Amino acid sequence: MKFDLGIIGAGPAGYTAAFHARAKGLTVILFEKDKIGGVCLNKGCIPTKAILHSAEIYEEMKNSADLGINCSDISVDYAKVVERKDKIVEKLRRSLELALKNAGVVTVNAEAVICGNNCHCGLDPQSHYDEDDCEIPKQVRDDTIERQECNSIIANGEVYECGKIITATGSAPRDFENLRFDHEFVLSSDDILNLKKLPESIVIIGSGAIGIEWARIFSAFEVDVTIVEMAEHLLPLADIEISKRVERIFKAKKIKTYLSNSVEKIVNKKVYLASGDVLEPELVLLAVGRIPQKILDNLTCIGDACGKIQLAHFAIKQAVEEVSGIEFNKELVPSVVYGCPEIAWVGKREQDLEEGTYKKSNLLISVLGKSHCDNCSEGVIKILSRDGKIIGAHIVSKEASALIQQIIIAMQNDLSIDDLKKVCFAHPTYSEGIFECLFK
């Protein structure tokens, strides 16, 4: 079978590439060995946010008396929280599968092996066909030997010739030689999604987006949470001032933190830290990043597999750029950590700038009337500028994910701060905080 484009991996990068290729009239085949939607839909963004929403509602209900609403006997049925998450994921996955079908994308639910100039077993194509341990079936090898130079993909014993191949094979949770997932006590971000019962206590190793969001979830559900972070501050990729604010928020929530620290070993369900402290949680979540799952270096690679920015929206834009040629500014990719308040940033951090070469404007979210109405007045808008143009923005606020987009649009289109001051922002909103901050 012949196709204009073969795509391996049906996460945000892969399925976006498929849709755009079909829109251009190309014939497309999409391979996925697991579930359509990839990590983002099945094991990452969507299921985590579904659980996070339940956690936020529960936390609000515990404090509802302040809002004039009396609730009693509030409890958590975590199995139902997970069941709701599963239903949301299944609904979205079925919708995506139908959309791909309606678009004319051929999908193959199987592991794909690229032949081309390198067989899956890694041996030279001219010499490996008689090897007993070759992972390509003998009949398939015999059928493809005369056209080994073409872009062939093999799945379920079938050969698919593709004019071009895109790999979008995603990433997997990272562990280390002395710190391995056992999927019972030391859990990955995949494992944690399938818990049916809340633990009494948990140690979270790593305070990136995954670690921070799960700390918020478990804390809201009244689990004893401890974070261990090698860096000096939580959320080490963020602006330091923002990290310090997150630390204050977590301290108020009684989330314990061990900063500038690391785990030396885990033995008999005891976590030994470099500082000499020994922790005895019910569970451990190891959230120290993800490993790209690449196939071949000489093929077009998009998404997490590239080992660049491992964010779904970055993967989506890569796919659009690769297939449709619509370029985007790689320097203006937003980072967002969800929960209440949200944390979002783009552009330069203050610690990256030389003193005296920029202007800093800060606005506390508590000055905004909307924040008090929503009972969410914790946070700050921080804007960094140079020569009248925004070069970085860092926000801790409800709706920070939406606020940062407004600033990115301004930066992308080279709008000056004076231009933004001419915009009429609605009141009462969090957006007017951007307007107010510009005058600081």
Domains and CATH numbers, the chain: 2-171+291-324 (3.50.50.60), 175-288 (3.50.50.60), 335-438 (3.30.390.30)
Q: pLDDT value at position 391?
A: 98
**Is residue 121 predicted with pLDDT exceeding 80?**
no
User: Is 364 exposed, middle or buried, given 0-12, 13-18 or 19+ CB atoms closer than 10 A?
Assistant: middle
pLDDT at 281: 98
19-66 pLDDT tens trace:
999 999 999 999 999 999 999 999 999 999 999 999 999 999 998 888
Mean pLDDT of 266-294: 96
Residue of higher predicted confidence among 297 and 390: 390
> So what's the pLDDT on residue 151?
74
**What is the pLDDT at residue 285?**
98
pLDDT at 294 over 90: no
Q: How many CB atoms lie within 10 A of CB 325?
A: 9
Q: In terms of Cα–Cα distance, which of 3, 5, 14 is closest to 301? A: 14
Q: Averaged over 298-314, what is the pLDDT?
A: 90
Q: Count of CB atoms within 10 A of residue 298's CB?
A: 9
Determine whether 331 is exposed, middle or buried from the number of CB atoms within 10 Å of its CB (0-12, 13-18, 19+).
Answer: exposed
Q: What is the pLDDT confidence band of residue 295, given thresholds at 50, 70 and 90?
A: low
Q: How confident is the model at residue 297 (pLDDT cuts 50, 70, 90)?
A: low
Q: Kindly list the distances between the CA atom of residue 121 and the CA atoms of 138, 169, 257, 299, 354, in Å, as whole numbers in the listed order.
A: 13, 17, 45, 17, 50
pLDDT digits (tens, 9 = 90+) for 372-387: 999 999 999 999 999 9
Residue 134 has pLDDT above 50, yes or no: no
- pLDDT at position 63: 86
pLDDT for position 195: 95
CB 383 within 8 A of CB 393: yes
Q: What is the mean pLDDT of the chain?
A: 91
Q: Across residues 306-319, what is the average pLDDT?
A: 94
CA dihedral sign of residues 424, 425, 427, 433: negative
State the pLDDT at residue 345.
98
Mean pLDDT, range 245-260, rounded to an integer: 97
Q: What is the pLDDT of residue 152?
A: 87
Work out the burial of residue 117: count CB atoms within 10 Å of its CB; fewer than 13 is exposed, 13-18 middle, 19 or more buried.
Answer: middle
Residue from 220, 190, 242 nearest 348 by CA: 242
- Please give the pLDDT value at position 116: 57
Provide the whole-model pTM. 0.90
Q: For the chain, give me the number of helices (H) and strands (E)?
A: 13, 22
pLDDT given at position 139: 44
Residues 6 or more apart whose Cβ sits within 8 Å of residue 87: none
Is residue 265 a contact partner of residue 184, using CB atoms and an 8 Å limit? no
Segment 273-292 shows an average pLDDT of 97
